[in-house]
Every structure is written in structure tokens, then in C-alpha cells.
Amino acid sequence: MSTEVKTGAAAEAVGTAPDRDGFGPWFSRAVLRNGPLGGLIALVVVMAVLSRDFLNGQNLLNVGVQASVTAILAFGVTFVIVSAGIDLSVGSVAALSATVVAWAATGEGLPVWMAVLLGLAVGAAAGLVSGALVAYGKLPAFIATLAMLSVGRGLALVISGGSPIAFPGSVSALGDTLGGWLPVPVLVMIVMGLIAALVLARTYAGRAMFAIGGNEEAARLSGINVKRRKLAIYALSGLFAAVAGIVLAARLTSAQPQAATGYELDAIAAVVIGGASLSGGSGKASGTLIGALILAVLRNGLNLLSVSAFWQQVATGLVIAVAVLLDTLRRRSTR
């Protein structure tokens, strides 16, 4: 009788032990999978506690506006990173595209719609050149896009003569608000995010990006034209950079050749913070948006707390380091 009781108790203990022991791994997996969203929520809570002005409606809209340009750039960079590449040129391409729009419309008298199309074409063309250097020239993506970073910035300075150019008034409306409260840059960010999500999740091109990032040789053997796909990937990144540059210039009401300097690093950081792997094969638009919002919330909150800009750079670097560490742990846990 007592033996049966002991046996039953032992069996019950054995049966429940895995649940208790399994909570740790389950919790770790949950944190790793939902880390960006959890990090954003935690950061919002901390900033709300530290600053009473943070949750003010106008300030939250400011956070969205601050995140918009970085997010649009980052959506394009997501395509590149998913395919195991890197694009350091998006900040310069953004400035070049905006400068071309302003130069064509203000200086050359082209219709505004033609000037905008020309600016978008310039962004896509810059991406195509980078893609060609990577796919056909066999240059490392880091070197190819670093070269385009310099070329794009230089061309923007040449076209503008080193001075800002007034942006067309009709396009500057992209920097305004609708109904006096809804920022247009936030709407553009949402639209571009939906396009990026659709491309990644619902198209053959998106599946090809993941395949190339996961294993380029296997993708080639499965029938994917890797070289052409890389051309398209970098062209998309350049096109998104052009949109971001136009939105930024609209906010500033002028195209400035030195605008968006360093934004390429913020874009890459947003993608990585959002959960994409620098090794390729993983990433999503929603994660990238969360990454851009984390950077915007962090900077906005630190500004409200009157933290030095120097320390803000330190804080941003620490956030990026933690994001990369989580990516490393996530990849180890899936092996």
C-alpha cells in the first residue's frame, strides 16, 4: 500500500518535473522571439516613468515623425540584410535623390511629378549600380556600397554646389500634417512598411531573398537567378532610400546635400534590433519598424531627460550590442 503511494508520488513528481524544468527554456525562447517588441514596451514604460511629458500625445507623434525616415530607409535595408548583404549607401542615396528632385523642379523647371519620378529613378539606379558591383563585379557588399556612399554624397554636392536647394512646395506637403495632427511622414512610413511586408511575405521575390540569405549556392541550384535577384534587391533598397530622402527634404523644406549623414548606420541598427540576422535568411518588416521605434523612443526620451548627445550615442551603441547578442543567442538556440 505504502509502496503504491510512493510509486504514485514518484510518478507524479516525474510527470511534473519536465514542466518545471521546461519553463526556463520556454521563457528564454519567448524572450528571444519577442525581444524587440518586449524591449520597445519596456523602454516606453521606463521613459513614461522618468518623464511626465513622454506620453503626451504630441510627443508620441513626434516620436513617429522621428522614426519615419529611419524606418523607410531600414525597410529597404531589410531586403539586403535578409539576403545576407549590407548597404552602407542609403543615407547618401537619400540625399542625392532629394537633391535631384529639388534641382530638377526648382532649377530646371521640370514639372514636379517628373522631378519626383527622376529622383526615385536615381535612387533605384544607384542601387542597381551597387547590385551590379556585388553580383557581377564580385565585390564584397561592404566595399561596393561604401563606394556608392562616397559617390552619392559627392554627386549631391556637385549638383547642389554644396548649398541647400529649395524644395517644391507641393512635395513639401509630405512634411506637413493632415487635419492639423496626423503627420504625413508617419503615413508614408506605414505605407512603405506595408509594401515591404508584402514583398517579403507574399511574393516570389521575397522568398528568393530568404533563400539567397539562407544558402546562396542552394538557391542557385534550385533555379533562382541569384545575380538578377541581387540587382533587384539593391535597386529596391535604393528606391526606398529615395523615398526616405524626399520625405526628409519635405520636412526640412529644402534638399540639403549633407542631409541623412550617418542614417545608414541607424537603418542597419533598426533592422538588427528588429530581429533580423546579419548572417541572412531572417527578418521582417514589422521587426524593422519596432527597431526604428526603439531608436526614436530612446533618443526622444533621453532628450526629454536632458541627457547629453554624447551619452545618447553610448546608449544607442549599447542597445545595438544587446540586439546582436540576442540574435547570436537566438541562432544558437535553434541549432
Write out pLDDT tens, residues 28-45.
Answer: 555 555 678 888 999 999
Q: Is residue 135 part of a domain?
A: yes
Per-residue pLDDT, averaged over 232-246, amounts to 97
Write out pLDDT tens, residues 283-309.
Answer: 999 999 999 999 999 999 999 999 998
- Please check whether residue 44 is in contact with residue 63, taking contact to mean a CB–CB distance below 8 angstroms: no
Whether pLDDT at 78 is above 80: yes
Q: How many domains does the chain have?
A: 1
- In terms of Cα–Cα distance, which of 226, 245, 223 is closest to 234? 226
Write out pLDDT tens, residues 133-152.
Answer: 999 999 999 999 999 999 99
Q: Is residue 126 part of a domain?
A: yes
Q: Is residue 194 part of a domain?
A: yes
- In terms of Cα–Cα distance, which of 64, 29, 73, 127 is closest to 271? 73
- In terms of Cα–Cα distance, which of 266, 246, 74 is closest to 175? 246
Q: Is residue 209 part of a domain?
A: yes
Q: Is residue 213 part of a domain?
A: yes
- Residue 2: per-residue pLDDT: 44
Q: Is residue 21 part of a domain?
A: no
Q: Which residues pair with 182 in a beta bridge?
A: 178
Q: Look up the CATH number of the domain holding residue 213.
A: 1.10.3470
Domain that holds residue 131: 35-329
Q: Is residue 7 part of a domain?
A: no
Contact residues for 110 (Cβ-Cβ < 8 A; gap 6+): 104, 118
- Residue 206: per-residue pLDDT: 95
Q: Is residue 53 part of a domain?
A: yes
Within the chain, residue ranges assigned H as helices are 2-33, 35-50, 57-82, 90-102, 112-135, 141-160, 169-172, 184-202, 204-214, 216-221, 226-252, 263-273, 285-304, 309-333
